[in-house]
Structure 1
Amino acid sequence: MSLATWVNSHYSEKGPAKWLAFLLELVAGSVLFLLMLITCLDVAGRYIFNSPVPGATELTRLGLALMVFAAMPVITYRGGHIVVDLLDHVLGQKLLKALGLVSALIMSSSMYFLAVRIFELGERSIRRGVETEFLGLPSGYIVQYIAIMSWLTAAGMITLGVYRILSSPTK
């Protein structure tokens, strides 16, 4: 089975979103596997050989940022966030649709403006040559990666969130 056939059969997204979701999930899964490997090697090195992996804590922090922010746009695009529907049976469908539209617009615009500020902080870190404490890795690029994934999350929320709200049937 070819990769394209496999992706087409396992991903419901349309067009380039399907391949972007696959790529981001591949990144998140690969980073998760590497985090598991680093943790196993660190624990084995610490307790069996009395020599932990140098910088394992720092690599874990960076890996968690990579993994979480790679998965965030995909989860948002698929509508996989937790939703509390305490008042859905009380409020009418038209009001729920309007509230959903307002919340999607607020969330996507706040993610967008938050990403702008995060990107600016990443640029400043790169200009100043800020590095991680132990391994000396430039931290500004990770910060800019977080901003880019936040922009993708905002785009996923505004496109699919608004589409789902406007296309859902009203009673």
Structure 2
Amino acid sequence: MSFSAWVTAHYEEKGPVKWLAFALELVAAVTLFLLMVLTCADVFGRYFFDNSVDGATELTEIGIAILVFAEMPVITWRGGHVVVDILDRMLGSVLLKVLGLLSAFLMSSSLYFLGERIYFLAARSMRRDEVTEYLELPVGLIIQYIAVMSWVTAGAMITYGVYRLLFLSRD
């Protein structure tokens, strides 16, 4: 089985979204694997050599940020967020579609403006040459990554809302 056929068989998304989902999940998987290796090395070093990995806490924090923000667009596009549908039976299908699109618009615009603010903070960190405490890694790069992934998630949210409205909600 070719690689392209494998991706097509395991990802329901269509077109470039399928490849974006694969790439982001690959980033998340590699990050999770590296976090596992880091934790094992840290514990092994701590118990057998009385010396832990320097900066393990910083690397774990950065790894978790990479992991979470790599998965946010994928979960958003797949509609994996928690949804409360208590009133769905009482409301009409047209109103539900309008409310779904409105919520997608509100969430995507919130993520967009959140990304704007985070990017502003990243630029300030870059100007000030802020670094992490032990490893002296540039903080601004991680913050820029979070801002960009917030924008990607905003795009995924609005396209998911429109996609559901146009293609999945037909009665």
Shorter-chain TM-score tier: over 0.9
Aligned partners of 1:85 and 1:40: how far apart in 2? 42
Read off the aligned partner of 1:162 and give its amino acid letter.
V
- The TM-score, its normalising length taken from structure 2, stands at 0.96
**2:43 maps to what in 1?**
43
**2:127 maps to what in 1?**
127
Aligned partners of 2:5 and 2:166: how far apart in 1? 31
**2:26 maps to what in 1?**
26
C-alpha displacement at 1:165, in angstroms?
Answer: 2.5
Which ranges in structure 1 are unaligned for 5 or more consecutive residues?
none
**1:169 maps to what in 2?**
170
C-alpha displacement at 1:55, in angstroms?
Answer: 0.5
C-alpha displacement at 1:2, in angstroms?
Answer: 2.1
Aligned length: 170
**1:96 maps to what in 2?**
96
C-alpha displacement at 1:29, in angstroms?
Answer: 0.4
Matched, 1:111 2:111: yes
Q: Which 4+ residue blocks in structure 1 deviate beyond 3 angstroms?
A: none
C-alpha displacement at 1:169, in angstroms?
Answer: 2.2
Q: How do 1:58-97 residues align onto structure 2 when only pairs under 5 Å count?
A: 58-97=58-97
For residues 113-170 of structure 1, give each alpha carbon's deviation from its aligned partner in whole angstroms, at most 9, with x where no partner exists. Answer: 1101111111111111000111000010100000111111000010112220243024
Mean Cα deviation higher: 129-138 or 38-47: 38-47
Aligned partners of 2:59 and 2:107: how far apart in 1? 30
**2:149 maps to what in 1?**
149
Aligned partners of 1:43 and 1:13: how far apart in 2? 39
Aligned partners of 1:166 and 1:85: how far apart in 2? 20
C-alpha displacement at 1:12, in angstroms?
Answer: 1.4
Aligned partners of 1:131 and 1:144: how far apart in 2? 14
- Whether contact under 8 Å (1:97, 1:166) holds in the other structure is no
Aligned partners of 2:89 and 2:166: how far apart in 1? 19
Mean Cα deviation higher: 160-169 or 101-110: 160-169
**2:2 maps to what in 1?**
2
Work out the percentage of aligned pairs sharing the same amino acid. 64
Aligned partners of 1:97 and 1:17: how far apart in 2? 23
**2:52 maps to what in 1?**
52
C-alpha displacement at 1:65, in angstroms?
Answer: 0.1
Aligned partners of 1:25 and 1:159: how far apart in 2? 19
Aligned partners of 1:17 and 1:29: how far apart in 2? 18
Aligned partners of 1:144 and 1:42: how far apart in 2? 28
Q: Secondary structure at the match of 2:90?
A: coil
